[in-house]
Structure 1
Amino acid sequence: MRPPGANVAGETPGSTETPAAASLCPKVLCKRVDFLRAARALRQSAPGFILQARERAEGEAEAERIRVGFTCSKKVGNAVARNRAKRRLREIARLVLPAHGREGWDYVLVGRPEITATRDFAAMQADLKRALAKVHGRAR
């Protein structure tokens, strides 16, 4: 165990800089109003989930970052199944959105009953890439 205040490789005490990788990670949506705005915007269905996407207006906060939200209703299953589905959605978003998402956009991934938790992980990544391409193709 490391004593409090001990340096981790490359850190200096009192350093407030965030690593470059942290800036690539999408920010997570938490407020209901953001989910409702995304629900009224573009929608693309994929076998393992539904993607809702919207471009934020210039005046909105954090216009330069990608934001993402995740939701699974009780139709997906019990709490264990919903949490497993959301974990899988979070991981595909973490892997795909920095490269294929657009800054200034909000994305919401909605889990589907029985499919989100069991679909092949590589197939879900490909689904998200395809859904993003379709959404951004329509947004032009």
Structure 2
Amino acid sequence: MDIEGRNPMALVTVRSGVINETQLLEGFNYMFNWNWQWRYKKQGSNAFLMRFPNKGRLMELINYDDFTLFGTRAVVNVKKWAFDSQAVGKLHTAWVTFGKVPECFRHFFGMCEVAASLVPVLEIDMGTKL
């Protein structure tokens, strides 16, 4: 099933200026009168996830770097979005203790390799008894 093909999605980021949801929708309706009902989902403080009528229309806007949305003073940028291109959640720091690590991995680089198989490694505490 080609989810992207039907109505592709894009991340609309506000590069400068301030814009609310109503202004965003009115600006897109005014500038891109494509007989399309624009919808959004807020993504943080300055970005919106929006669905486009088709891939061709989305590609038209991706070709522009940044543009000012008519009726606002906000400069926005449109980038293609895919289901695997966004973070699922906020990365938190975790302290992990490993048990039953094979003898061949009981050194600094071995522990880095073991830890990296789970998460990005920021620090290894070698002071803890191996």
TM-score for the superposition, normalised by structure 2:
0.27
TM-score by length of 1: 0.25
Task: State the structure with more CA Rg.
Answer: 2
Which one has a larger percent helix, Structure 1 or Structure 2? 1
